[in-house]
Structure 1
Amino acid sequence: MKLIRMEKLSRYFGQGEYEVKALENVDLTVKEGEIIAMLGPSGSGKTTLLNCISALDKPTSGEYYFREQSVPREKSEEMTTFRRENIGYIFQFFNLLSDLTALEYVLLLQQISGQPNEEEARSILASVGLKGMEDRFPSELSGGQQQRVAIAGNLAKKPHLLLGDELTGNLDSETTRQIMKVLSKACKEYGITTIFVTHDQSLCKYATRVLKLDSGCLISDEVGEMATVSGAVKSAVGDATELVKDGISKAEKMFSNVVNKVKETITEKE
């Protein structure tokens, strides 16, 4: 089923000689279950497109349909309702509430979208690797763990569409890899369509489709690595390689510790 259909969507800012064409005649269709990476240089229109998709911003012209229904753009209350019922949004900065634990945060987002369920909330936190950390506050979590809480909160809302704007921009490469694996696995498990903006082309391996924007125009729409058999195999091999590397690293460390202890023992006897 088509989740998103955009036809000749444009977004302009300013007027006359100061007019900026942030988006220009974008045609886009997104099917349910897709995981889409969106690439492009700064100022290419990526964030503007996400904001139009989520109804945080209104297009200047063109048509936008969500589940074959025209998306409201006139009344702010209707746009707010649309976002609450359909959209999850993960930002580069985690935006957690400092006085709520991980579990309380997930329960709050459950309550906004429906009925809070503690058992389900704990299950969601476990699915993103936070089992045993349910009662921790943001100040007691690392950056990667905080982003996992943000992901869990959005999963708890059960949105039709999850959007991410540079969601790993503040994380190191290893944490980024872990977060993207968690996100792609969780979205498949919960059947949530996902679109994420990134400057890092290596993250495209987690996508089933890759869009490229430049100067407000959609210039490329390609099948992502995860949508191909070879891509899935490559990803699995990559994961296995990481596990082997981790195992070798741990073995080397253990061996080094043993050698050092032997040396210390010999020195003491001498």
Structure 2
Amino acid sequence: MSDLILEDKLTYKIDSDEPIELNQLILSLKSLGDEYGKFSKIKDVEVKISEVRKGSFEFDFVLMSFAPLLPFMSDVNTTVDFIKRVSELKSFFLNQNSDIQPTLEEAKLMNSINIPIQTFNNYGTVIINDTQKVDKVEFNKEDSKLITTNSSKYIKELKQKEDEEKQNIFKDRLIRFVQTRTDNKDYGNKSICEDISSKEIKTIFENDDIKNEILDNPYHYGFLVDLEVQYINNDAKIYRIMKLNDKINLEENDL
């Protein structure tokens, strides 16, 4: 038998008197429940709906676990912290806060939880709060449209980045050269890209224009580039600079 982890509950409410499309409601509830469970970071956790208010679109989520609970679990503020995180995500996708970097799953959550109210003819509000209704975050119809637009764009960009990195292509990475040749040969140049490896890696160039611009003054600058990385046994062996995006004065930035 599973144990109730938290006495506190996460409440999801759609404040409207209009009918809701069933598949949209299911998608919204499932997305919220999945992310709530992941956020708890509790092993073997299950998220269940413990109550549906009569005559309303109001649902209570609770966390359940089959694993033995540790003593500190009683002090965990998962629900409150989760609501605060959703509030941060709301600000991010409303272009009000750029200090966080949402995960792909968080972007999908924000893309889904507001879908039911977007087709309403009149008002519609999504409300997420804790049992005591002390901490809450609300989304109105206007918020939801902008959040869905921005989160859809964000999801597309993240997936594109993942696809590129699976192809060993890394965009906008900062490199610095530690060894260069003066005889214009294509071998003997080495650079370090801390995002990929702390090692000095053989570096080649997509074309002579890129090579000439970089090797004209290779040690005074850091270079923001698009890289193709070639691996042997999962170790980076060659960087191919495909595009030079910017040069950064190392002395001015104390790098």
Give the TM-score category using the shorter length.
under 0.3
Query: Which one has a larger percent helix, Structure 1 or Structure 2?
Result: 1
- Relative contact order: is structure 1 or structure 2 higher (C-alpha 8 Å, sep ≥ 6)? 1
